[in-house]
Amino acid sequence: MSATPSTAFEIAAAVRAGSVRAIDVLEAHLGRIAARETDIHAFNLVTADEARAAATRIDDLVAAGRDPGPLAGVPIALKDNMCTRGVPTTCSSRILEGWKPPYDATVVSRLAAMGAVSVGKTNLDEFAMGSSTENSAFGVTLNPRDTSRVAGGSSGGSAAAVAAAFAPVSLGSDTGGSIRQPAALCGVVGVKPTYGTVSRYGLVAFASSLDQIGPFSADVRDSALILESISGHDPLDSTSIPQGPLDLVSVLDHDVKGMRIGRITDMPEGADPDVLGRLEAAFDALRAAGATIVDVELPSLKYGLTAYYLIAPAEASSNLARYDGVRYGRRVDAVDTNSMYMATRAAGFGDEVKRRIMLGTYALSAGYYDAYYGKALKVRRLISDDFARAYATADVLLTPTSPIPAFKVGEKADDPLSMYLCDIYTIPTNLAGHPAMSVPFGESRDGLPIGVQVMASTLGEQPMFKVASALERHMNSSGGRS
């Protein structure tokens, strides 16, 4: 084993065995951050001192003959919409700049209890609203593979942190593709689990019926390890499924012989030819590995984008009402209370957040509720029903993750609709509450990463990870060329 192991699995094993010190692992990663962070801007805050103290505690436990936990000494980066006690949590918004939560999110406390070491809070589109991390109040996160291009969003900082090897793993949140899309654009693994398998307690809400926390990693095994670690029932989250942690690592070496892989015949059009080519290569690889490719139809899938951009903004307009300069948020003083509310929100929120709040408020307003929000909920039901029929004949479904590889910074900044279309393949699983993940599967002709999305039915993480692992094995065996 190398002096500084690279994967979370290797790091934890080495630190627990005493062959590598957690502090040395941490310093290696902090060194990479120091060397490239200025060029990439993955972080809003690097918590170097706190991380060194945590790593030292882990080394002390090992020296005393005690086990620090299954994630001993593993550096992890946290999206800056997850509460960290005494550490600023800004959601990349001016309105929360400097706010220090009085408690940890459940995922944060679980990771710490298992020996993971947080290295900082990563940049995101403000309040997780965006697909490029260009909507952050604190600057754009750039793609480590090509710094002229975006890292995706909204969890762009978390994806970039893993792609740049600032941390072997990170956490993001996914409301309509905000883990999977940046994972695809940065060439890493990104997972959105079944809604309710990971606690949302301490996650600053965007759209509560859609948000879900999940991992980024450089390989499928590390994502399985982290998802196992953060999953399981949490009484603090009323939407948490009453079951134990997921069992994922144990299935990764299983083959896919006999599995049914669904090809969506009426999939929304518009994907780049290179992206479609890699999707076909994924079907070929799974067929060669013994799986059967079956055709399925999801006729309501094409309405997913429209339904999402009514449901998510409606929930956002409700969730963000608390940022008024009284309950939460930095206050801008004015002559009376209503003027103070207006001035606070005008100064504190960025353009995209304002756009979605106004859209959501309109959709919920008297006279329009049934016409817009009510119909969107019916479409959501239709999408779930279509998925149920598809999963009656297929174990998993494959689609592109993003219709295009990483685009140039500023290319879509003035065209919100074009930006929204980046999530056309990822949004439906959020509406249905199903798990999905993006797996790196080759490159475009320009050398940009392309991800394939593996989707499964509710609590179908095991077959999803089996297929993802098979795709990864194929790429590894082909040297990343096939």
pTM of the model: 0.96
The residue extents of the domains of the chain are 8-251
In the prediction, which pLDDT does 3 show?
59
pLDDT (mean) for 114-132: 97
- Residue 27 or 369, more confident: 27
Extended strands (E) in 183-314: 189-192, 212-217, 260-264, 292-296
What does the angle CA 21 – CA 50 – CA 171 come to, to the nearest 5 degrees?
A: 85
In the prediction, which pLDDT does 70 show?
97
**Pairwise CA distance, residues 44 & 139, whole Å:** 9
365 assigned to active site: no
* Tokens 């859209």 found at: 359
Q: Is 399 helix (H, G, I), strand (E, B) or coil?
A: strand
89-111 in b/e burial notation, b at 16+ Cβ within 10 A? bbbbbbbbbebebeebbbbbbbb
> Tens digit of pLDDT for each residue in 220-279?
999 999 999 999 999 999 999 999 999 999 999 999 999 999 999 999 999 999 999 999
pLDDT tier, 482 (very low <50, low <70, confident <90, very high otherwise): low
In the prediction, which pLDDT does 4 show?
77
- pLDDT higher than threshold 50 for residue 2: no
Q: What are the φ/ψ torsions at residue 335 (nearest 5 degrees)? A: -70, -25
- pLDDT higher than threshold 80 for residue 14: yes
pLDDT tier, 1 (very low <50, low <70, confident <90, very high otherwise): very low
Residues whose CB falls within 8 Å of the CB of residue 435, separated by 6 or more in sequence, listed in order? 191, 192, 193, 194, 197, 429, 455, 456, 458, 459, 460, 461, 464
CA atoms 301, 307, 308, 309: torsion sign:
positive
Q: Is 248 helix (H, G, I), strand (E, B) or coil?
A: coil
Residues whose CB falls within 8 Å of the CB of residue 374, separated by 6 or more in sequence, listed in order? none
In the prediction, which pLDDT does 330 show?
82
% the chain with pLDDT above 70: 99
8-251: which CATH number, 3.90.1300.10, 3.90.78.10, 3.30.1130.10, 3.20.190.10? 3.90.1300.10
The bridge status of strand 43-46 relative to strand 169-174 is unpaired
Q: What is the number of alpha carbons within 13 Å of residue 101 lying toward its C-beta?
A: 18
317 assigned to active site: no
**Pairwise CA distance, residues 140 & 397, whole Å:** 33
Choice among 131, 132, 154, 317 that is catalytic:
154
- pLDDT higher than threshold 90 for residue 468: yes
* Residue 64, both tokens: 């005393």
* 169-174: strand order across its sheet: 43-46, 117-122, 75-79, 169-174, 212-217, 189-192, 436-443, 449-455, 396-400, 260-264, 292-296
Choice among 132, 136, 170, 178 that is catalytic:
178
**Pairwise CA distance, residues 155 & 188, whole Å:** 12
> Tens digit of pLDDT for each residue in 43-65?
999 999 999 999 999 999 999 99
> Tens digit of pLDDT for each residue in 178-204?
999 999 999 999 999 999 999 999 999
pLDDT tier, 481 (very low <50, low <70, confident <90, very high otherwise): low
**Pairwise CA distance, residues 254 & 152, whole Å:** 32
- pLDDT higher than threshold 50 for residue 97: yes
**Pairwise CA distance, residues 264 & 452, whole Å:** 14
412 assigned to active site: no
* Tokens 């799986």 found at: 291
Choice among 79, 192, 412, 466 that is catalytic:
79
Mean confidence (pLDDT) of the chain: 96
**Pairwise CA distance, residues 465 & 397, whole Å:** 12
pLDDT (mean) for 60-89: 98
> Tens digit of pLDDT for each residue in 147-174?
999 999 999 999 999 999 999 999 999 9
In the prediction, which pLDDT does 324 show?
84
